[in-house]
Structure 1
């Protein structure tokens, strides 16, 4: 099978939203609705750096799109279209069928359309660019936090990082714990609806991909502030209660791969955010406060600062 046969067999679909989709030199896309702008993001997943060689290709297709949708969610954007660049060491039709199945299952659920891309031979690499629509004056940004704002996070943290440590041989998880953690690592859920709803309540937001403390530091830097978090409030995944305290803390605070949303909001928004949590059946936990200064401090019940470990960095992390 050549390049164009591969695209035709596994990735070509009739255009629904685009004026012209897969098959030409360029896609043709309509302008955003009046009063809205494009929100655009791109992520690259490289074998051995972002996923293990034996990953289920269906899960990889899902995750490759999910991590990009999570970026749209963090800005409060509604998904519109995406492109795919795929490098393959060889053409494996069973692998491609599974990968495209996982990719399009999430795309259909999210209402986002593949409009083009590229394929080539090379080390297994998946790069996806997404675009969405967001009101011109309504996008959530990292620079919007103010001193005194509450810090919130969605869902639970730490399970995906524990799955990575198990697969690297650093720890050994019981089978039932591993099954749960592997599900969180391989099948992340982008918080798209939450992101759209937060436009009415949050002052700043981002997605937790490289670790809570490291990612929240970006809000601090962009907003010119610091943050104090309470360890007792951090929503560590309940399944990790069977792990050691230090392991749990490092996984939840710096482990990464959670793809939850961390956001700030004025104290007057607490009731509305708690109601939103009930509406979406999604835990939204208030974990700290923004303050003057810089950096992120995590404190225990006695107010002592805790060691958090180093969040993932693409060039300095192992």
Structure 2
């Protein structure tokens, strides 16, 4: 992003009008150059993450552009939280159809600015392109951790407890609602599920706690069952999960009561953007207390064991899922 002279092109004007006000860090160079820079603090590592959202896949055409921008930023913030990292800033690449209105861009920039300020995560630059397809927003985010302290997926060991933040399955059930489900829900329950799909609540307030106590961590983006299976695979362990312990919202419980098949959707569906982590048993109580102090609910849902895979137990019976998680391919 950047304008070269006073004879501004349409793209340069778009950048100056909508994105330059968000680029508040000196290293962004007011979006007047082809690149930007950031100087990490001594004794820190830079953590890098990129994720994209696409119209018709991650959001609907009728969704408010303000919320589209916030979702794009928050799905990346969620990954930083799971790594124990503090946000430093981000780059955005935006592919827009020809008929994109100035009002859409204004709402998009508003949402991006609101969350950039709320999460202390300024814009450093990016790119704008025209596309014949739906809107695509790609965020590349960077954060910092003390050197060597990034929490990886690979640290889970037998005996460690498995924790998850918040509630599971709300976003996946919200998507099913958007697609026409007619469960007997209250207005508040319906709104809760729809909001969780549209706008994630990244757990960045827990990042320092994750870094201090977790042996392994990742965010739940593709579904609890599949993402825990990935963590177990990288760590070379298994996990035994008590399905009854998995935290569900009242709205999710109501949806599952109306349609029992939705339990699998809740356990395997994507877009939760909660933090999944393992904690040594001797540190579990301290982890709970630190999470409570940070204002983030956490739930112990099982234990790491020797072996392979994530085993979801309903009483004495292991659940068999049609698929472990959402996949684009």
Partner of 1:197: 209
CA distance in 2, matches of 1:92, 1:180: 29
Q: CA 1:232–1:164 in structure 2 vs 1: closer, same or farther (change >3 Å)?
A: same
Q: Is the aligned partner of 1:275 residue 2:286?
A: no
Asked if 1 retains the 8 angstrom alpha-carbon contact of 2:205 and 2:296, the reply is no
Instruction: After TM superposition, give the deviation of residue 255 of structure 1 in Å.
Output: 1.2
Q: Distance in 2 between matches of 1:277 and 1:112?
A: 22
* C-alpha separation in 2, matches of 1:269 and 1:199: 13
The superposition leaves residues 248-292 of structure 1 with CA deviations (integer Å, 9 ceiling, x where unpaired) of 422331111110000001101121122123212321000011111
Task: Rate the CA distance shift 1:280–1:28 in 2: closer, same or farther, 3 A.
Answer: closer
Structure 1 CA distance for aligned equivalents of residues 261 and 288 of structure 2 = 29
CA RMSD of the aligned region, Å?
1.6
Q: Deviations over 1:45-80 (max 9, x none)?
A: 111122222111111010000000111111111000
Aligned mates of 1:17, 1:237 — CA distance in 2: 42
Aligned to 2:319: 306
The farther-off stretch of 305-314 and 202-211 is 305-314
Q: 1:183: which partner in 2?
A: 195
Tell me which residue corresponds to 1:94: 103
Distance in 2 between the 1:17 and 1:79 partners?
16
**Is contact 1:229-1:297 (8 Å) kept?**
yes
- Report which stretch shifted further, 168-177 or 304-313: 168-177
How far apart in 2 are the matches of 1:211 and 1:19? 35
- Pick the aligned partner of 1:61 from 69, 72, 76: 69
Q: Match of 2:49?
A: 41
TM-score (norm 1): 0.94
Output the CA distance in 1 between the equivalents of 2:181 and 2:165: 27
Q: Select 2:241's aligned residue among 215, 223, 229.
A: 229
Q: Is the 8 A contact 1:165 1:171 kept in 2?
A: no
Q: Is the 8 A contact 2:153 2:217 kept in 1?
A: yes
Which of 146, 155, 161 lines up with 1:144 in the alignment? 155
CA 217–21 in structure 1, closer or farther in 2 if over 3 Å, else same: farther
d(CA) in 1 for partners of 2:50, 2:253: 35
Matched, 1:253 2:267: yes
Unaligned runs of 5+ in 2: 1-8
What is the match of residue 5 of structure 2?
A: none
Residue 265 of structure 1 pairs with residue 292 of structure 2:
no
Report the Cα distance in structure 2 between the residues aligned to 1:308 and 1:273, rounded to whole angstroms: 31
